[in-house]
Amino acid sequence: MERISITSTRRVDLIDITDQIQDALSRQKTQDGICCLFCPHTTAGLTINENADPAVRKDITTSLSKLIPPDAGYTHSEGNSDSHIKASLFGPSLSVILEGGKLMLGTWQGIYFCENDGPRSRQVWITIIGK
């Protein structure tokens, strides 16, 4: 598998990793199939959403932080239960169709690393399964 590295700079952020993933794919022989993305962290996740107006990302993180506030009488002693809960809501894995070596995304779609407990050094793991 390939690994890409991400350095988050805020506690909560959606970081565009589309180009990093496409770069990693260009080092692979397989051109057609699916690209499986996996987040190996328990306080982060992966999502796909709009890559045009950054306000969309802000609305997503703000809205989720209202639903899952940082302090809500959680029992986990590390004080980051909100980050774990958000990780499960976004989910750890995504599959994107690959054709001719290119990620098949909709016009307005970008792939985002969902940082819920930064700033931290993070990874996303990538594997391609040929058709």
List interacting residues with a copy of itself (CB under 8 A).
1, 33-34, 36, 38-42, 47-50, 53, 55-56, 58-60, 63-64, 67-68, 72, 74-78, 81, 84-85, 87-97, 99, 104-109, 125, 127-131
Please state, in angstroms and rounded to a whole number, the distance separating the CA atoms of residues 29 and 105: 20
DSSP code of 77?
Answer: T
- Least distance to a copy of itself, CB of residue 1, Å: 5
- Least distance to a copy of itself, CB of residue 8, Å: 16
Q: Measured from the CB atom, is 20 or 61 closer to a copy of itself? A: 61
60: left (phi over 0), alpha (psi -120 to 50) or beta: alpha
Angle formed at CA 111 by CA 106 and CA 113, multiple of 5 degrees: 165
